[in-house]
Structure 1
Amino acid sequence: MIFPSFHLVIKQCHNQWRSLLFRRISIINQRQLSTNNDYKKDSKQQGNNILVQSQNNQIDVTAFTHKAQQAVKDCVYSLVIVAGVVALGGVCYLILHELYSRETPNGIYKEASKLCLANINVQEALGTPILVHTTPQIGSLRINNVRAKMFDEKGRRSMTVSFYLTGKERSGVVAIKVQKNISNKFVYDYILVQLDRPWHNQNILHVHQNLN
């Protein structure tokens, strides 16, 4: 009777051992499966992170290229604007200098015409009112430019200017000659008015004459 009981105990122990071993193997398998799943998840997440980083880098390169191209365009546009402003400023300076500077044909014309109109002999010879014009005919459609000629004489910059006067009695042609002095300013050599008809037996009136 003892031997069958002992055999039963051994069999029960064996069954318990097999059950325990099976449980341990199951736990180990579950852990391995969990580890593999975590590794796969980490690998997938790492791949996604690398893909996102690559896309971000590509976006950054594209944005930098776009900004660089825009900066070049802005620089070119700025240079064009600056060049246009400089050119416009130069043109405005030339126009203003020609209109308002005395040291130009237009400046000498304006000053000499005032001297002629203020001269008593010119007023009496031509008869007031007196018109000043740069072309032979009053109201001519030709461009109203002052007739001037620049040249060098004895090392000095010289210029001759001519224009016309028309009064009630007579008309005349004004001839002017100026030279640069040591201060680089124009001084008059003479201002003469040649009449179309004599006045007091005179054909030429001296508005200004440098006796030196």
Structure 2
Amino acid sequence: MICTLLRAVRCTERLHGCPGKPWFLPHSVPHRACSQTEPRWRWGLQEQNTTARPRCIWGVTQRSIWTQVRSPQSAKEDGSKQVSVHRSQGGETVLSTSQKVKEAGRDFTYLIVVLIGISITGGLFYTIFRELFSSSSPNKIYGKALEKCRSHPEVISVFGEPVKGYGEVTRRGRRQLVSFIEYKKDGLKHMRVKFYIQGSEPGKQGTVHLEVKENPESGEYEFRYIFVELEPYSRTIVVEDNRS
């Protein structure tokens, strides 16, 4: 029985990879009765089992100590991470500066676009005001000449009342454009305007030719002549002539 237990203990030591001294104490060597020694051998086996667990636990403890030994390296890695984060924060600062520069350039571009739009709008308003309300605009001169034609007795007798005026015919069939030519002579501005008139008499249509000259004192235009030419009859009606 004792030999069997010794073989079992040796097999157990070989399985656990612990050569050398047995796990049990030397008190198991004296030869006693099987009833007295068997509990001790069992106790030795139990002690072997209980000591195997602490070795596993000790292995875990060694692993934990090994990780704690590596903790300074992890601390260095944490430090490097902090440095990289700090650098990234510095990079963000540089990026924000570039963004500010881009935003400033964008605002400057918008300002230029707004100024160009304001200048174009101002030019359009000035042109509209000059064409409609200025005394030197072609439309204003056209309106004055048309009133003179409407009040002229020979024009009324030929064309009938009411006398209507219109400009050049557009591609869409509208009669809105008044043709005119501006030029300078002897340092003074001149303008020639042409438009058409038509009355109640059927088949009669006339072409009005006029010229205005700038007054050097007032700066306003004055009529030099106004002629009405009857197209089908080759007749000319002189409404006003100030060339002499």
Q: Over the residues paired in the alignment, what is the CA RMSD in angstroms?
A: 3.2
Aligned residue pairs total 167
For residues 47 and 171 of structure 1, what CA distance do their matches in structure 2 show? Answer: 97
Spell out the pairing of 1:73-84 with structure 2 (5 A cutoff).
73-84=106-117
Choose the corresponding residue for 1:98, options 114, 117, 131.
Answer: 131
Give 1:193 shift. Answer: 2.0
Q: Say if 2:223 is the partner of 1:188.
A: yes
Change (3 A) 1:71 1:211: closer
TM-score, scaled relative to structure 1: 0.64
Q: Say if 2:197 is the partner of 1:165.
A: yes
Task: With a CA cutoff of 8 Å and minimum separation of 6, indicate the structure with the bigger relative contact order.
Answer: 1
| One-letter identity of the residue aligned with 1:149 | I
Q: 1:85 is paired with a residue of what secondary structure?
A: helix
For residues 140 and 132 of structure 1, what CA distance do their matches in structure 2 show? Answer: 18
Spell out the pairing of 1:29-178 with structure 2 (5 A cutoff).
50-135=83-168, 141=173, 144-169=176-201, 170-178=204-212
Q: 1:144 is paired with a residue of what secondary structure?
A: strand
Give 1:179 shift. Answer: 0.7
| One-letter identity of the residue aligned with 2:167 | T
- Name structure 1 gaps, 5 residues minimum: 1-39
TM-score, scaled relative to structure 2: 0.56
For residues 221 and 199 of structure 2, what CA distance do their matches in structure 1 show? Answer: 28
| One-letter identity of the residue aligned with 2:182 | M
Q: 1:106 is paired with a residue of what secondary structure?
A: helix
For residues 109 and 150 of structure 1, what CA distance do their matches in structure 2 show? Answer: 14
- Structure number, greater radius of gyration: 2
| Runs of 4+ with >4 A deviation | 43-52
